[in-house]
Amino acid sequence: MHDALQVHRGKEASTNSMLTIGKVAERAQVSADSIRFYEREGLISPARKTDSGYRLYTEEAIRRLGFIKHAQQCGFSLVEIRELLDLRNDDESCCDDVYRVAIEKKLQLETKIKALNSMSRALSGLIEICSRDKKSLEECPILGALEAGLERREPAHPKLASKQRGIS
Amino acid sequence: MNILIEVFSAPGCSKCAEGREALKAVAEELAKDRVTWRDLNVLDEMDYAVELGVMAPPSIAIDGELVFPALPTPDRFRDELIRRLERGASNSSGRR
């Protein structure tokens, strides 16, 4: 009887130090919906649930959410963040593994930046050719240049072109 | 005709270093005087790496073309070098 009382008090104490989803959301500065979404994506899970089904978290959840937020700011996708979190919890992993993931991400971002710069330059070229003298849309040099570009590209991709034309 | 081999590695990567040395030995054994070997730090040469399409070190470019996005086995690397050396030989004899 005495033992059962102690167990009950211990459980009560640990539950009292736990945080509800609202508290965690407030302290980690994310929405409760985001936390539920991260849970569905396997990035976070409550330490336990109450008998009535409410999620309860420890302080670790706030650190984990901070990690997720910072990783997202560095361009990591949720799948990649899960990989990083797994590495963090894997005893056999070392900082070399995280270093490799970070370098690969950097290469990926630089590749995207290069592609975006190239798109931006192409748009600058189109903007420059526009005389803005309120011509009709049929005479629009931007639309004309885009169409001319498409026509020029078609012979370079004969398979794609025939697919578009419905030729098998 | 010289073959330019460029190996993109991450600094401090032991996997890169081990594989690189094995491949370098293959290149030296095959045609030391016809191969130019460059070890590149992917972080220092980020723009060039991106230009070639390197997505993860270690990667190998040959004559400015990304040929091995991951380190090949020494045998695959040897075959590729032999192919290129033979092509270079036939091109230069054709020019004469």
Distance CA A117, CA B51 (A): 13
- Write out the residue range of the structural domain in which residue B10 sits: 3-95
Chain center to CA of A34: 12
Place of tokens 């498409």: A150
- Give the confidence band of A144 by pLDDT, cuts at 50, 70, 90: confident
User: Closest approach of chain A CAs to the CA of B55, in angstroms?
Assistant: 6
The CATH number of the domain holding residue B68 is: 3.40.30.10
How does pLDDT run across B6-33, given as a tens digit for each residue?
A: 999 988 877 778 888 999 999 999 888 8
Q: How confident is the model at residue A133 (pLDDT cuts 50, 70, 90)?
A: confident
B4 in reach of chain A (CB within 8 A): no
A14 CA: distance to closest CA in chain B (Å): 44
Q: Tell me, what's the pLDDT at B86? A: 87
Q: Give A105-130 pLDDT, tens digit per residue.
A: 999 999 999 999 999 998 888 888 88
- A86, amino acid identity: D
The 10 Å CB-count burial string (b at 16+, else e) for B10-24 is beebeebeebbeebb
* Interface confidence (ipTM) of the complex: 0.78
Evaluate the CA torsion angle A145, A151, A156, A162 in order and state its sign. Answer: positive
Domain count, chain B: 1
Q: Domains for chain A: give ranges and CATH numbers.
A: 2-76 (1.10.1660.10)
pLDDT in the model for residue B36? 93
Test B57 with A96 for CB contact under 8 angstroms: no
pLDDT digits (tens, 9 = 90+) for A69-93: 999 999 899 999 998 888 877 776 6
Q: What pTM was estimated for this model as a whole?
A: 0.68
Q: Is B80 helix (H, G, I), strand (E, B) or coil?
A: helix
* DSSP per residue, A22-65: HHHHHHHTS-HHHHHHHHHTTS---SEE-TT--EEE-HHHHHHH
How far is the alpha carbon of A144 from chain B, nearest alpha carbon, in Å? 30
Q: Which residue did the predictor score with more confidence, A152 or B8? A: B8
Write the pLDDT tens digit of every residue in B56-82.
999 999 999 999 999 999 999 999 999
Which residue in A94, A99, A103 has the most chain B C-beta atoms within 10 A of its own C-beta, making it the best mutation to test that interface?
A103
Q: Do B42 and A100 touch (CB under 8 A)?
A: no
Asked whether the beta carbons of residue A104 and residue B55 sit closer than 8 angstroms, the reply is yes
